[in-house]
Amino acid sequence: MNRVLVIEDDAVARRQLGEIFRFEGFEVAEADSGQAGIAAAVRAAPDLIVCDIMMPGVDGFGVLQALRKHPETALTPFIFLTAKAGGQDMREGMGQGADDYITKPFDPEALLASVRQRLVRRNLQIEEAERRAAETGMVAAAAVPREMEGCLAHIEAISGALAAKYAGDPQAAEMRDAMKQEVARLRTLSQRLRLYSELPGLYAGRFAGGNASPTASSHELVMETAREVTERWARTTDLEVSAPAGTAPLPSESLAALTRELIDNACKFSAPSTRIVLEAKPEAAYWKIMVADHGQGMFPEQVREIGAFKQFWNGPERPRGLGLGLVLVQTLARLHSGEVLIESEPRAGTRVTVMIPSE
């Protein structure tokens, strides 16, 4: 539902405008002065603003000028509604960045048509911005792993040389182990970014008829991948696994990626010494992998807004990572015609279930 802010000092006119917009299904906020309108817009940025010009104190031009300086409202569609019909006033308003100028008495249909047109344009601008941001993210995700791998190989060589030079020094050995852990973490991040950049190609291969062979043993692959992840987090004793022998209906690379992302996410968002449960087994019509933790959980709106390069946390300490984990899980599941169910409750934990059709 689009939210419209009406800034009008005349109570009758303000009420009339509010009724018109509410009748058409808009959420309406009202302000009875220019200063109040500025505060309301900055506090909760609306999708569109309708503002009178002739108001005591801060007039409509002052409101527009102030809001164009705020990042939250700089691009918000702004329509002047006023009894002043002079060409100079119209040029001044448009020159400051107003989107339209409607004179009183106004035709409600003309006003609504202008509002809808501005909202359509705004939505197109938002979609274009999101598309460009996604393209930029894909380019970065493809380029960074290549650069990162060279740096990691160099760090490993330096670490090995230092370890040989100071062999027998306990402090040097401790530093070498810490470096190995960080290199492993960065290599996992590199793999994650590479997979993210390859997803469009995987989709293209799928619809072009390209099929990879299914994994030979889901049990062994799931167990090995889960062990590697929990070792990196020093949480091997927290993991409980139920993965009977069998074959998963998806390639080994995809199964390993699903397991790695689900376990890594559970480790990241739950405290050490809390249980992490992993199940990987066939059901009646599909193959299932499920990971549940007892961590901080997510709010419903956070689950709905899961996207690449977003992070969600409820505590003061921000977790490490780019927020790609569940995005990769969802995309890999869809790549294989599967579904993902995310059940989460704040401070009670998260359960993620991936279901892949058996045939």
pLDDT tops 90 at residue 24: yes
Where residue 84 falls among pLDDT bands split at 50, 70, 90?
Answer: low
More confidently predicted of 345 and 207 = 345
More confidently predicted of 260 and 196 = 260
Residues 13-33 have a mean pLDDT of 94
C-alpha dihedral over 199, 200, 205, 207, to 10 degrees?
120
C-alpha dist (Å) from residue 267 to 77, 126, 170, 341, 352: 44, 35, 29, 19, 13
CA-nearest of 280, 262, 256, 222 to 342 is 262
Where residue 219 falls among pLDDT bands split at 50, 70, 90?
Answer: confident
In angstroms, the CA 195 to CA 79 distance is 45
Range with the lowest mean pLDDT among 117-121, 128-132, 147-151, 232-236?
Answer: 128-132
pLDDT tops 50 at residue 207: no
CATH of span 218-357: 3.30.565.10
- Quote the pLDDT of residue 322: 40
The overall average pLDDT reported for the chain is: 81
Residues 84-111 have a mean pLDDT of 72
Q: What percent of the chain has pLDDT over 70?
A: 78
pTM of the complete model: 0.48
In angstroms, the CA 224 to CA 280 distance is 13
- Quote the pLDDT of residue 88: 59
Specify the CATH class of 3-106 in words. Answer: alpha beta
In angstroms, the CA 55 to CA 14 distance is 13
- Quote the pLDDT of residue 199: 64
In angstroms, the CA 196 to CA 189 distance is 11
Three-state SS for 301? helix
Q: Where are the domains of the chain?
A: 3-106, 134-207, 218-357
More confidently predicted of 205 and 26 = 26
Q: With contact defined as beta carbons under 8 Å apart, do 358 and 336 qualify? A: no
